Amino acid sequence: MAAPDALAPHPRPAGAGAPQSPAYARYVLAVLVLVYVFNFLDRQILSILAERIKADLGLTDAHLGFLYGTAFAVFYALFGIPLGRLADSWDRRRLISLGIGFWSVMTALSGFARSLVELGAARVGVGVGEASASPAAFSMLSDYFPQRLRATVLAIYSSGIYIGGGVGIFLGGAIVDRWDILWAHTAAPFGLRGWQVAFFIVGLPGLLLALLVRSLREPVRGQVDGIFAAPEPAPFRNFGRELASIFPPFTLFSLWRNGGGIRALAFNLAAAALLTLGAASTTFLLGNAIQWSALGVGLYAAVSWAQSLRLRDPPSFALIFHTPSLRWACLAFSFLAFTGYALGFWTAPYFVRMLGVREGEAGLVLGLTAALAGFLGVTLGGVVADRWRRYGATGPLRVAILTAIFPVPIAIAMFTTHDRVLAYALNFPLAVLSSMWLGPGASTVQDLVLPRMRASASAAYLLVITFVGLAMGPYTVGRLSLALGSLRAAILCALCANVLALVCAALALRRVRDDTASRLDRARAAGEAVL
């Protein structure tokens, strides 16, 4: 079987149009990087504002971890599934544009929150809006750039995580400091706090970006790989079905309508019962019912969606769920995300709380460090993965192995020193090395499925990344901080996830070459009609 890059091209569909120029492809990449910058700016600003919000709303570290992690993550992951499906069959630029507008408004509304519930509701809205971006962007970029450049391109796109996160930390710190100085001796307008104003300022400009994205050209799906599928005649009908497949009680109707039968319904109900029992037991042992209830609902929705996909689209199910290297790779990258999200959120509060740094200083130094070092690290990871990929499909996973090993000793040194300057200095190489996996992770998923499945596969990948990394990483550190009485000790415990990432990446490495070469045959065996 030939490697995917050597697959003979198939005839282009009628009316497909000419491929876009390399210059325009680079322009699209630049715009989508900007989208991801705003995505993480709106998401990460909560980190530098955490201590102010905690004091004003009477929250704990566990509440902060929930707001940044679970409240956002569960709905981000769940809506990523139907929105990923819509991106596989509808105009991707329109989808991203609508999503930007929605999450920008919800970010601004976060500034009106007066309680945990209100701020949690706004964070849910941000998560729903942001779920539209990455699956569609991964798919678009994979149709603009060939496989030999894919890890680099997706790494450059993913650098928006660190640029946006860094800018968010910087802006948040600067805004609250300036607001305190400006209104130090008199009442602020409408009684607004600095953290509320920060949400307003970073949220609303996203509406202009939505218009820019809408002006992009939609690429021909599968044009680079020469693997074309027939256009989807009713994308929104399928989107509705996908939405029904993840939200109870519509999940049961969805299974029945798709021919699941009694056995499928029984399995679904058994999964619901087990997850309910697990959430109740964990709440009894650890408290915080909202955390475990939200996570249980998210996991139930994921199980229901997988059941529904198996009935509606056997080829996609086969490649997404029955590819061993993809399963192990998703777990490896999710454990790296666990550490990344935990450090990404808690580093700024750590400097403020443990090293006595003001928010403005922490925001300036940590924000600029995150933006520059993160960009360098993500881009370097993509370039190295693509260079190593010339010698086989294992290149991206070798970068994951490096990312699991080298950041750990630097992180231990950074979070055990009491020297503020040394901690700042160590944060730069830590940010470079711990960010190298993002491009290789995204490209691994794209390489193991067919073009028409890329957004759905990306949504499934992001679901695992989000549940393990975002939903559990920040919350686990917050919970451990309460239990151990030390934020430093809690952060150091989180580094154990890198050991699990190393094991899973090694297991994926053993199978990825064969799985990549056989994807077309396995899809056809599952019923795929490839043009």
Residue 230 banded pLDDT, cuts 50, 70, 90:
low
Question: For position 393, what pLDDT does the model report?
Answer: 82
pLDDT of residue 228: 63
Q: 3-class DSSP state for residue 485?
A: coil
* Residues 462, 134 contacting (CB under 8 angstroms): yes
Look up tokens 């996991």; give the residue.
Answer: 299
82-96, 178-192, 285-299, 325-339: the lowest-pLDDT one? 178-192
Compute the distance between CA of residue 80 and CA of residue 263 in angstroms, rounded to an integer. 27
pLDDT the model gives residue 20: 66
Average pLDDT over residues 210-233: 78
Q: Is 437 helix (H, G, I), strand (E, B) or coil?
A: coil
pLDDT tens, 417-475? 999 999 999 999 999 999 899 888 888 988 898 888 887 788 788 888 888 888 889 88
Domain locations in the chain as residue ranges: 20-214+236-525
Q: What is the pLDDT of residue 5?
A: 39
Average pLDDT over residues 123-152: 86
Model-level pTM? 0.76
pLDDT at 411 over 50: yes
Q: DSSP character for 60?
A: -
pLDDT reading at 143 higher than 90: no
- The CATH code for residues 20-214+236-525 is 1.20.1250.20
If we measure between CA atoms, which residue out of 206, 177, 112 comes closest to residue 367?
177
d(CA 258, CA 305): 12
Q: At what angle do helices 194-203 and 22-57 cross, to 10 degrees?
A: 160
pLDDT over 80 at 11, yes or no? no
Strand ranges inside 140-192, DSSP E: none
- Residue 226: pLDDT band (50, 70, 90) is low
Q: What CA–CA distance (Å, rounded) separates 513 from 523?
A: 16
pLDDT in tens, 368-391: 888 889 889 988 998 898 888 888
Residue in this structure with the two tokens 């309910």, named with its chain if needed: 276
When pLDDT is cut at 50, 70 and 90, the band that residue 225 belongs to is low
List Cα–Cα distances, 109 to 202, 216, 343, in angstroms: 11, 28, 26
Tell whether the torsion through CA atoms of 62, 68, 74 and 77 is positive or negative. negative
Cα separation, 468 vs 461, in Å, equals: 11
Q: Using pLDDT thresholds of 50, 70 and 90, give the confidence band for residue 492.
A: very high
Helix/strand/coil (H/E/C) assignment for every residue in 201-256: HHHCCHHHHHHHHHCCCCCCCCCCCCCCCCCCCCHHHHHHHHHHCCCCCHHHHHHH
Say yes or no to pLDDT of 227 above 70.
no
Q: Is-contact 505 400, C-beta < 8 A? A: yes
Q: Distances from the Cα of 80 to the Cαs of 103, 295, 336, in angstroms? A: 14, 15, 20
Indicate whether 504 pLDDT > 90: yes
What is the enclosing helix (H) or strand (E) of 465?
none
What sign has the CA pseudo-torsion 382, 461, 312, 82?
Answer: negative
DSSP string for 113-145: --SHHHHHHHHHHHHHHHTTHHHHHHHHHHHHS
Place of tokens 């919800």: 106
Can you count the helices (H) and strands (E) in the chain? 26, 0
**Mean pLDDT in residue range 220-232:** 68
Please identify which residue in the block is written with the tokens 């769920």: 321
